[in-house]
Amino acid sequence: MTRPGIFGWSYPPGVTGREPEITGEWGPCECCGCDPADCLCPECPVCGEQGNPACYLVQGGEKNHNLEYNTEQLIGQCKMRIADMKENLRYEELALIQLTELFEQEKASAEQGQGGVGASGSEDGTSER
Ligand SMILES: [Zn+2]
Ligand SMILES: [Zn+2]
């Protein structure tokens, strides 16, 4: 009997599992959630980088490069998180289906195992239901 790897796809907490496989490049911009080509982040006045989360980091009460996310970026991040959660939800639903099937199988085989053909060594002779 083959047992599918039910827990094979679960990620440790904090890991989104987003991978750049689909397009072959890196995923959406971390700051605005857009494709890097459509990145709508402003250029950092300090280091000139666009869409670098480090520029927005708050360290010791001060913004790292004094950049602040604008509403558009926050919307993009929100969408990104929702997409991640939907993905996780999909995995959980799949896992639930698989686990339920497995449980049914286990229940069925447990019932067959009892009172069927003498499996291995005669066990206690409880009358079958
Ligand atoms: Zn961006
Ligand atoms: Zn910067």
Of 58, 81, 60, nearest to 69 by C-alpha is: 58
- Rounded to the nearest angstrom, the distance between the alpha carbon of 37 and the centre of ligand 1 is 9
- Rounded to the nearest angstrom, the distance between the alpha carbon of 39 and the centre of ligand 2 is 15
* pLDDT value for 61: 84
Q: What are phi and psi of 124, to 5 degrees?
A: -60, 140
Q: What share of the chain has pLDDT > 90, as a percent?
A: 56
- pLDDT tens digits along 7-25: 555 555 555 555 444 445 5
Q: What share of the chain has pLDDT > 70, as a percent?
A: 68
- pLDDT tens digits along 23-59: 455 689 999 999 998 999 999 999 999 999 999 998 8
Tell me the range of 78-87, 106-115, 117-126 where mean pLDDT is highest.
78-87
For residues 2 and 63, the model is more confident at: 63
- Rounded to the nearest angstrom, the distance between the alpha carbon of 53 and the centre of ligand 1 is 9
> What gap in Å lies between CA 129 and CA 126, rounded to an integer?
9
Which pair of tokens denotes residue 61?
Answer: 């009460």
